[in-house]
Structure 1
Amino acid sequence: MTPEEAQAQLDQQVRETIQWHFSPETGCPFWLDFAKKNFDPRGVVNSFADLIAKFDHFQDESLRDLQPEVWVPAAFKGKPFNIFETGGTTGMPKQRIGWNDYKTDYEEFSGKISDEHFPPGGAWLMVGPTGPRRLRLAIEHLANFRGSSCYFIDLDPRFVKKLISNKQFDVARQYMDHVVDQATLILKNRKVTGLFTTPKLLEALAEKVDLYDAGIRGAFVGGTTMTPQYVRFMVEEVLEGRIGFYPTYGNTLMGLAASVPITPEDQFSVTYYAPQPRAVLRVVDPKNTAQVVDYDTWGRVELTTLTKEFFMPRFLERDEAIRRRPRNQYAWDGVADVRPFGAMEKTIVEGVY
């Protein structure tokens, strides 16, 4: 696909999504009410550029404050929905409802991982947040889609963040050890070939078990910042260059952005590409968010989600990243070296997630 073809595909997705969410026959109460109070974008927003020009930034407080039913498209009315919460914040969490988006997202992602590293039929182990997180169902669906089953070790990221914020580092360490011990037990007693976890937990796990000898051939890693120096440490020391390394960047509101294989020229800088046209990532100027920054320049991450289940225009993520050029099979911009927004100016608590 050329960049021009990718843009045409995205513009078509915008038109279809706008028509769906703002038509009384198919749309959801939230966006139908928005159209009454503000403007009806049907016939007005005909491209992604129009969307950027016409819509302000989506306010995520709507996902905290409003009952989930306001997000149910009329076409889905009467169908029970999943309720997914976002990860590590305190207070009332943001919630996104859904039906099949997570399956579509992860089935698409399946084509981007190697059978050598995640052999079909081989069991997986996820060490991470389950509970109300979309990730639990998504990872299990991905494993099932590839003919595999998945073991789970739960992690409560909110508890970890609370402990670290309160400077209860000894308790946080005990909790981390508790999680790692459970994962170690599974690896020693069950045949597992694939692993999904956070960088810090993977590092701690590798101190307890020789991952390759335990049968691990591929590792999905995501959830916290990975600098190029840390990526190199993970690839060369933790995974010893023998286990497939798959950094991921995703969340409940976006889905999953895949990383491109790291080449020597990257110097261990990881670049992710959104699952366009279902979701779009831009790296924008924090002081003028209508504008993207130049390539290879830092800016704030802006997310737009465009599916029949969920429409979210121009949400400013709590992340910053380097804007990268299209590459390999991706004919659109990527985001690299993702870290919390403002990480260079203030201390950010990430915990183990």
Structure 2
Amino acid sequence: MKPEVIPAAELESRVKTAKEKLDAHAYETVQWHFHDSTGSPFWLEKKRELKFDPLKEVKNFDDIKKFPEFEDEWLRGGPIDRWVPKGLAGQPVYVFETGGTTGIPKSRMVVTDHWTDYENFSDTLPDKYFPRGANWLMLGPSGPRRLRLAVEHLCQHRGGICFCVDLDPRWVVKLIKKGWMEHLEAYKDHCIDQALTVLEAGHDVKCMFTTPKLLDALCQALEKKGKSFADTGITGIFSGGTEFTPQFTRFCVEEYFGGPPEESGIYMTPTYGNTLMGLACSKPVSKEEGYKISYYAPQPRAVVEVVEFDNYNQPVGYGESGRVKLTTLTKEFFVPGFMERDEGEREQPYAAYPWDGVSGVKPWRGIASSTTVGVY
């Protein structure tokens, strides 16, 4: 599948409309989170420390820069209900964790954001390869992470039943840090065995979520059985992680799948996301563009900017490298200027997503040599 191409004037019009929608959404979100009747205890308390009045001085998205850099330590520890907006009081609350391989994990409260994010993402999936009513396999991290519940909801939203494996990424990180590679391989085999058991049990699974490393391990396990990925019957793969590279994508398409979707009948869409942002979709990936992967945040609910390494309020030029900056704008959660642990290149808007994107995502150079990534 190739990206939609439209005349420059039409693209310019879509970019302008998207910017206007984002400005209005940013204003409404700040009004909600900082009004005494609807805001969360955290932001209402933080308002007293600010050198400006968000209710009066944030009129558009650019005004979000007036907030100080968001500190991820604010998300570590409780009480978690300090993040629950008064306007949502009394509703059932989920807690999802991100990070936390050592020490206290970062936590995010959620009411229905994960459902909304994945319902919106569902609209981007081609029904030809992700059939409505099809059953899914969730081969990824479980436990207190939102992925398991979110993928299950995506499956149910599309009319199917989701089968899940049990995977604890914190244990994987500990194995890596201890150098217990034999144990690591055994645990990976354990997770893949769970997946193979589901796929061989006659449940007619047609779609799946997985990560690049687990997809690679699954394909290798199938080859040892004398089978190919096509033998699973899966036609749609939704995958994500910084380990997603053009090289890996090319290998999957050309070696594991047997060609592009038009020939193999297998479609894979990369995504870039986390507990704070939701899901950034990718432009359709093609051989003609060197399997380049460009991601676009789910505006206006979340915005990704690629900014200078030494000035987080200054975007880099198109095609230039910078650090990834995230702003989350929902009624449940407001995060202004969160500096991700990733970097990449700033990409031009395009027809389906008329706002800036990011490509070449990889660990931020400031921590790349001191962190464990791609554990899935």
**What is the TM-score when the length of structure 2 is the normalising length?**
0.90
1:335 is the counterpart of 2:348: no
SS in 2 for 1:309: coil
* Cα deviation digits, residues 133-192 of structure 1 (max 9, x gap): 111111011101111110000211111111111211111111001100111111111311
Identify if the C-alpha distance between structure 1 residues 30 and 347 changes in structure 2 by more than 3 Å, giving closer, same or farther.
closer
Higher mean C-alpha deviation, range 108-117 or range 306-315: 108-117
How many angstroms apart in 2 are the aligned matches of 1:65 and 1:294? 37
How far, CA to CA, are the matches of 1:263 and 1:186 in structure 2? Answer: 30
Instruction: Give the match for residue 58 of structure 2.
Output: 45
Following superposition, the deviation at residue 226 of structure 1 comes to 2.1
Q: Deviations over 1:300-321 (max 9, x none)?
A: 1000000000000000000111
Which of 117, 127, 138 in structure 1 is aligned with 2:139? 127
For residue 150 of structure 1, the aligned residue among 162, 167, 183 is 162
Tell me the distance in 2 between the aligned counterparts of 1:161 and 1:327. 37
**Residues 51-106 of structure 1: per-residue CA shift (max 9 Å, x gap):** 12x11210011110331111111111122300011146321110000111111111
- The change in CA–CA distance for 1:88 and 1:237 in structure 2 (over 3 A counts) is farther
Change (3 A) 1:351 1:14: closer
CA contact (8 A) 2:346 2:357 kept: yes
1:204 maps to which residue?
217
CA offset digits 1:287-331 (Å, max 9, x no partner): 111111111111110000000000000000001111100113111
Q: Name the SS of the counterpart of 1:320 in structure 2.
A: strand
Partner residue of 1:282? Answer: 305
Tell me if structure 2 keeps the 8 A contact 1:198–1:352: no
- Of 208-217 and 303-312, deviating more is 208-217
CA distance in 2, matches of 1:49, 1:265: 36
| CA deviation after TM superposition for structure 1 residue 350, in Å | 1.9
C-alpha deviations, 1:91-138, integer Å up to 9, x for none?
111000011111111111111001111111111001111211111111
Q: CA deviation at 1:240?
A: 2.2
2:245 corresponds in structure 1 to: 227
Q: C-alpha distance in 1, partners of 2:100/2:187?
A: 16
C-alpha distance 102-153 of structure 1, shift in aligned 2 (>3 A): same
Report the alpha carbon displacement of residue 216 of structure 1 after superposing the two structures with TM.
Answer: 0.5
1:343 Cα deviation from its structure 2 partner: 7.9
- How far residue 339 of structure 1 moved from its aligned partner, in angstroms, is 1.1
Please list, as runs of the form range in 1=range in 2, the aligned pairs for 1:157-196 lying within 5 A after superposition: 157-189=169-201, 190-196=203-209
Q: Report the Cα offset of residue 266 of structure 1.
A: 2.4
Q: CA RMSD in A?
A: 1.5
Whichever residue aligns with residue 73 of structure 2, its letter is E
Aligned partners of 2:77 and 2:105 also within 8 Å: no
Letter in 1 for 2:245: T
Matching of residues 58-69 of structure 1 within 5 Å: 58-69=70-81
**What's the TM-score once normalised by structure 1's chain length?**
0.96
CA contact (8 A) 1:224 1:352 kept: no
Residues 280 and 298 of structure 2 are in contact (CA less than 8 Å); yes or no, is this contact kept in structure 1?
A: yes
Identity %: 50
**Following the alignment from structure 1 to structure 2, what is the Cα–Cα distance between the partners of residues 223 and 200?**
9
1:262 is aligned to 285
Partner amino acid, structure 2, of 1:292: P
Report the counterpart of residue 36 of structure 2 in structure 1. 24
Deviating more after overlay: 287-296 vs 33-42? 33-42
CA distance in 2, matches of 1:149, 1:343: 42
Deviation at 1:40, TM superposition (A): 2.3
Distance 1:87 1:215 in 2: 34
Give the Å deviation of 1:344.
Answer: 9.6
Aligned match of 1:246: 269
Gaps of 5+ in 1: none
Shift of 1:19: 0.5
SS in 2 for 1:212: helix
Amino acid at match of 2:47: A
Q: 1:297 aligns with which of 290, 312, 320?
A: 320
Structure 2 residue 150 is the aligned partner of structure 1 residue 138: yes
Unaligned ranges ≥5, structure 2: 1-12, 223-227
